[in-house]
Amino acid sequence: MNITNDLVTEYICGYYQPLNDQLAELRSMGERDHVPIILKETEQYLNILLALKRPARILEIGTAIGYSAIYFAYKCPQTEIYTIEKDETAFHAARHNIAALGLDERIHSYLGDGQEQVEKLRDIGIKGFDFVFIDAAKSHYRRFLEAALSVCQKDAVIVSDNILQRAMTVSDQYDPQKKHKTNVKKMRDYVDYICRSRELETSLMSTGDGLAVSIFRGEHG
C-alpha cells in the first residue's frame, strides 16, 4: 500500500530530474534489483534540504549499493560523506560503485553495524557532523540516533527515512496479520521519542515512505 494517493505521487514524481546520468543509471540498477534506494520524491525533498543546509560533513547509516551516498556527493561537491553498511555484499557493491565514479576520496564507507561504527568514528575523533541520514534497520533507529547525536554539531539536520513503513506506523489496519508488530511498535516509539525530545525539533512528512526531519538543539549528553 502506498501511503499517498498514487496519482499524487505520479504527479510529483513527474517533475523528478536526475542530477546526472551516473545517478540515473544507478537508480535504474537499484530499482531493477529491488534495492530500497531513496524514492524519487524523497530525493526531490533532500535536494532542497541540502541546498539550504549546505552540510560540511554527512553521516549516513544504511549505504546499500551507495545510491544515496553518491547522490550526496554529487549534490554537495565540497562535502565529506561517511556511510555505514552492515551487509557485506551490499558494502562491496557500494565500494565498487563509489570507486567507479571516482568518489572514493570523499565518500568514506565502513562495514559494520551503524551504532558500533559511529562510536568507532567518534573514538578516533571523527565528529562534527551537520547532516545525518538514517536509513537502515527500521527497528534500530533509536540506537542509531543516539550514536549519531554523539558525533553531531548543534543545528545538525537529522533525516530519518521510512518512518511511516507503508502507513503501518499510523494504524494497525495496514498490518492486518500483525506480521510487522515488533518493528511497527519500535518505529512508533522512535517517532514519539524524536517528536517529544527536548534536544530535537522534529517535523514529520508523508513524502516517500515517510520522513522525519529533525534539528539537533545541541544538548546531547
- C-alpha 116/C-alpha 17 separation (Å) is 36
| Touching ligand SAH, residues 18-47 (CB under 6 A) | 36-38
Check binding of 61 to ligand SAH (CB under 6 A).
Answer: yes
| Burial (Cβ within 10 Å: 0-12, 13-18, ≥19) of residue 153 | middle
Number of H helices, E strands in the chain: 8, 7
| Residue (33 or 219) nearer to ligand SAH, CB | 33
Check binding of 136 to ligand SAH (CB under 6 A).
Answer: yes
Judge contact between 55 and 79, C-beta under 8 A: yes
Q: Which range, of 4-12, 51-59, 63-71, 205-213, touches ligand SAH by CB under 6 A?
A: 63-71
- C-alpha 65/C-alpha 68 separation (Å) is 9
- Contact partner at residue 175 from Mg ion, ligand SAH, none, CB < 5 to 8 Å by partner kind: none
> How many residues bind to ligand SAH according to rule CB under 6 A?
19
Q: Which range, of 84-92, 101-109, 121-129, 211-219, touches ligand SAH by CB under 6 A?
A: 84-92
SS3 22: helix
Q: Kindly state the smallest distance separating residue 162's Cβ from Mg ion, in Å.
A: 4
- C-alpha 38/C-alpha 16 separation (Å) is 13
Check binding of 161 to Mg ion (CB under 5 A).
Answer: yes
| Touching Mg ion, residues 117-136 (CB under 5 A) | 135
- Contact partner at residue 186 from Mg ion, ligand SAH, none, CB < 5 to 8 Å by partner kind: none
CA angle 2, 160, 156 (to 5 degrees): 150
| Residues in contact with ligand SAH by the rule CB under 6 A | 36-38, 61-62, 64, 67-68, 84-87, 90, 113-114, 135-137, 140
